[in-house]
A = this chain, B = another copy of it.
């Protein structure tokens, strides 16, 4: 029982952006931070944009940032939004058939268990995922933001 790599990468993108909410980050920077390919992140980033979690600024100096506060995005909603299929066994899924599905209690029992799983995740936010933000910034080699230039030196 795995979450897809797609959902895993969604968490990585959102956590990376949550660590620098005040600036734009490029897909190349995210890919380099995790040592994964940019190509794998393109579709993830697109869907996170469509779902309203990130905003994209195009052009020179452009990049991505969170469209919401990290405290307002729950882990449960990310899983529901990004995991392509939460149908644990065949009888959950349209088009698949099992000869006993009309009388079998496995599907409702697994449904209850899935609800319990998601309830835990609904109680946690993206902000909880980055509670060790100082260590995460170091591991992801995120440079500290440049200090604002004093007015007299602009």
Contacts and interface: CB of A to CB of B under 8 A. Distances in A.
This protein's copies in its complex = 2
Interface residues on A, range: 35 or more
A98 B34 contact: yes
A136 interface: yes
Contact of A116 (B34, B35, B119): B119
23 contacts: A1-B2, A1-B83, A1-B86, A1-B88, A2-B89, A3-B110, A7-B89, A8-B90, A12-B98, A12-B100, A15-B100, A15-B104, A15-B106, A33-B99, A34-B99, A99-B140, A100-B140, A103-B132, A109-B124, A110-B121, A113-B117, A113-B120, A117-B117
Given A2-B88, A104-B129, A117-B114, A99 B35 contact: yes
